[in-house]
Amino acid sequence: MTPMTSQPGRVHAFADDALGDLDAVGLVEALHAGRVSIPEVVEAAIARAERVDPQLNAIAYRCFDHARVEARAPRDGYFAGVPTFFKDNVDVADLPTGHGADAFTPRPVRATGDFGRMFLATGLVPLGKTTLSEYGFSPTAEHPRLGAVRSPWDPRRTAGASSAGSAALVAAGAVPLAHGNDGGGSIRIPAAVNGLVGLKPSRERLPLDKLYRQMPVKIIADGVLTRSVRDTAAFLREAERVYRALALPPIGDVTRPGRTRLRIAVTTQGSRHHATPEVAELTAKTAGLLEELGHRVEHTDPPLPSWFEQDFLLYWALMAMVVVRTGRREHGPSWDRTRLDSLSLGLDRHARRNLHRVPGAIRRLRRIRQELASYFAAYDVVLTPTLATETPLVGHLDPGLEFEELMERILTWVAYTPLANATGQPAISLPLATTRAGLPQGMMFTADTGREATLLKLAYELEEAHPFARIQDA
């Protein structure tokens, strides 16, 4: 079967089947009403995934038969029977964890990790694992041998990363939501590119697998990619019922826009890179919508310290160095570092050449939230574009490019997303803008630590005032 399209270039699988055009909450309602059955829903999702994946290259591993078995006796939970995918960098029992690489032969793991157990406790039915950039280091998934993950809005373009496969499958209608995690924008970047809602929660809002808990600066947070605000809100509500982050205020059950008018800062400037004219114009339109809704909007200078970009890059490179230097111990004798892509190896070199700077970089990253305390005390929310430029074509961020040129291109594109990873604050990308080329362009909203509810209430209001573009209508 060929993927369905609504106009040339678009790839989606929305159809008159058990999934229809329902989001996850709508699917739960349909299941409870008896309009569809769990086996029908799971079978429809499998068919859709198989239909679009040849063009999107989004699936790393399939466990379709296991999902069919589970559909006949699903686990309990609000999302019981709702099909989904895991990103292929968390452990799920009986599935391999490949981390988007082919530098080793992954084996099925024995036990599900801490995040995976919480995720499954909500009742979701996994169909497999999705493709990411190698170890999540690149904001696009363009592996030299495994291929590129492509946007269903325009397969000539990247689907973003690192949660690329999850975003592509949700946007194309294969499943209503899928897992992602975010260490520098890896939920928000593919959300912005694929016309989705992508919320990076506060640091330690959700459980982390052991590997990520051991990091000296915990920049990674898990979450989901969805097509609606209510799906993201429902997932966080159900996650909180399984795992309560005692150090943070509860999110609760957020189901509607808030009434409080907010103090919102707006900037399109990064520490060194700024938005293109088109992206700046789209951000200004979003700011105008906020003013029409009665919020107090103020255009400000960026809060980023001058040292932030290079310190974050060095920390990012340090993670690559750990992968390169410990690969054989972690993955066994099949490990072959020569099969790592050029970006991973270039980051490793960058870290080794700058090891003397690492302690200072870690110290500054750890205290950045305190340095920005007065800025975030002055505003309830900060609006920036999620990404500084329009979605690039596949190849623009090819990991085989010369390292310095590639890093300049990457840092130009992702000028805004890494800050919330360093501070630990929640940030959400919403599909509020469309470029002249007809592609989604995400707008990002950041709040202070623990204020996910503020972001969700604002997101509901914006979704209601400016309904998100749908790929099946484009």
Q: Kindly list the catalytic residues.
A: 87, 162, 186
What residues contact residue 46 under an 8 Å CB cut-off, 6+ apart? Answer: 64, 67, 68, 83, 127
Helices (H), 243-367: 277-292, 308-331, 342-353, 358-366
In angstroms, the Cα distances linking 321 to 16, 101, 166 are: 48, 15, 26
Q: Distance (Å, rounded) from C-alpha 198 to C-alpha 387?
A: 13
Nearest to 60 by CA among 168, 202, 157, 201: 168
Nearest to 303 by CA among 419, 391, 403: 419
Alpha carbon 225 to chain centroid distance? 6
CB atoms closer than 10 angstroms to residue 380: 21
User: Residue 127 phi/psi, 5° resolution?
Assistant: -100, -5
| Alpha-carbon torsion angle 100, 105, 111, 113, nearest 10 | -20
Tokens encoding 51: 């239909």
